[in-house]
Amino acid sequence: MAPHATDPTAPSGPYEPARQPVHPTAERRETVVLVDSERTAYTDEHITAKYTYRGASVTREGASVRVKPTTEEFEFRTERKVPRLGVMIIGLGGNNGSTFTATILANKHHITWQTKEGLQAPDYVGSVLRASTFRMGTDSTTGKDFHLPVCDVLPMVHPNDITVGGWDISAAPLDEAMRRAEVLPYDLQRQLAPLMAGIKPLPSVYYPSFIAANQGARADNTLPELSKREHLEHIRGDIRAFKADNKLDQVIVFWSANTERYSTILPGVNDSKEALLASIDASHPEVSPSTLFGVAAVLEGVPYINGAPQNTFVPGLIQLAAARKAFIAGDDLKSGQTKMKSVLAEFLVNAGIKPLSIASYNHLGNNDGYNLSAEPQFKSKEISKSSVVDDMVAANHLLYKPASQMAKETGDPKAKAEHPDHIIVIKYVPAVGDSKRALDEYYSRILMGGRSTISIINECEDSLLATPLILDLCLLAELLTRVQYRTKPTEDFQPLYSVLSLLSYMLKAPLVKPGTDVVNALSRQRAALEQFLKACLGLDNSGDLLLETRTW
């Protein structure tokens, strides 16, 4: 029998079929955005752009509100050379890790597969960078809006060029992990198997107290029971070896392993960088695997992203990253139900409608659901999901009484601000596998004491929504390592702040710079990302104002 037309192991020769067309999201484009402005300059090495950041300082004076416009001048410098990038995933053999690797290999090798709808080509649908666009302005020829793929705005790594590796407590090579996950269709798995079989996870850290006991059966690829300092040095050695062996310029370390229980924040243990490093030396039981990997990444100077809901970034780790000017981001991938919630809650509150309760029910049957069936791990997930509407509620004091008003009305100085009831339930149902079911009810007050109920049923293939987010987070984190800024021409350029809050669009519980507000509203998160990337080109156009359509 002749080999399958797109079998990557098939010999080349006179019978080699024509290459299948490449999906638009996976195309290689040589687009260069050139801004004709005295504020933007190009060299072979850098794009340098001046940007005026406009804000407003507001003061309430009795019945008056005084607003003072503010401006601050920034100069951004973006390195144009795109590096050779490697991504090291903790939990490489899980559903997300194996699907991420398989997606990149399928696109890289142009592997097509048969489905009941016909021939399917690989793609990066679901990726903001590869499958969505920004409005750049008005087409000078047609007068219509001109939209550009996000990945073309600034020089970015093409996902096909990513080298993937990482760790897992399960020793299964990735072809077995892919079959175990049951995410991708058989015809695709069959062709990917020879490429995936050679990728084997490195032994990982296993501290049983942090994940559900039901994960013990998978833990056959763990580091010896050494001290936590020895584990830390081993992980650092793995990162260095991966970078050297693959001749990489940059590495991103990404946590996609099991959800851990919350770490207890203890004075003198993890509340400062000095305490955290001492606690690692002492093998303190409250130093979690995810925090240990984070310390290793920070000490190696590579970005670290937490894709799970636990409190990986204890105060000591955030301090250490800031001291080293290393990049960190988290927490928890915002893929389906929570992303919808951050849109719908914003819509309701901005429309002047008051949600009284938001009740969310989930059931799923993958290993993530299995691990979350344990109460401590579920609690981590519940916390990350519950905070997603907080900033939207706090923004509207006409609908929700602030803490000061509640304290005045109740006489309790510790009274909390008014907030909708927010209930979250997650159940493990093996039969549905990776296909997660989410049911949400939004019960709201409308005009004259009336009520409105919105119910949503959302079914999604969990890993196929999560994988593009991992891709975007890694590619954006890499890009931001090449962006520097200064506020005075006499200053040296310096890197961005260590906490990459620009990645918030893809995260449920965004980590932000201490002392600053968390933004969960999806539209604001995307707008911030768009405006920043344009600022790196010296563009500050407010295209949505559309004054040309509103004036003579």
Q: Give the model's pLDDT for residue 7.
A: 38
Burial class (CB in 10 A: 0-12, 13-18, 19+), 217: exposed
C-alpha closest to that of 521 among 385, 384, 389: 389
511 Cβ contact partners less than 8 Å away, ≥ 6 residues apart: 306, 313, 318, 328, 329, 330, 331, 499, 501
Q: Give the model's pLDDT for residue 460.
A: 83
Q: Give the model's pLDDT for residue 285.
A: 95
Concerning whether 434 is annotated as a catalytic residue, the answer is: no
SS3 195: helix
Question: Is the separation of the CB atoms in 243 and 268 below 8 Å?
Answer: no
C-alpha closest to that of 442 among 524, 361, 335, 523: 361
* Alpha-carbon distances, residue 486 vs 321, 333, 382, 537 (angstroms): 20, 31, 40, 15
User: What domains sit in the chain, N to C, each tagged with a CATH number?
Assistant: 33-81+482-552 (3.30.2360.10), 337-463 (3.30.360.10)
**Active-site pick, 334, 354, 385, 508:** 508
pTM of the model: 0.90
**Active-site pick, 200, 243, 354, 436:** 436
**Active-site pick, 381, 385, 472, 534:** 381
109 Cβ contact partners less than 8 Å away, ≥ 6 residues apart: 8, 195
Beta bridge partners of 147: 135
For each of the chain's 552 residues, which pLDDT tens digit applies? 333 333 333 333 333 333 467 899 999 988 889 999 999 999 999 999 999 999 999 999 999 999 999 999 999 999 999 999 999 999 999 999 999 999 999 999 999 999 888 999 999 999 999 999 999 988 889 988 899 999 999 999 999 999 999 999 999 999 999 999 999 999 999 999 999 999 999 999 999 999 888 888 889 999 998 899 999 999 999 999 999 999 999 999 999 998 898 999 999 999 999 999 999 999 999 999 999 999 999 999 999 999 999 999 999 999 999 999 999 998 889 887 788 888 899 999 999 999 999 998 988 877 777 776 667 666 655 665 667 888 888 889 999 999 999 999 899 999 999 999 998 888 888 888 888 888 999 999 999 999 999 999 988 888 999 999 999 999 999 999 999 999 999 999 999 999 999 999 999 889 999 889 889 888 999 999 999 999 999 998 666 777 777 888
Concerning whether 334 is annotated as a catalytic residue, the answer is: no
Concerning whether 44 is annotated as a catalytic residue, the answer is: no
**Active-site pick, 332, 368, 462, 472:** 332
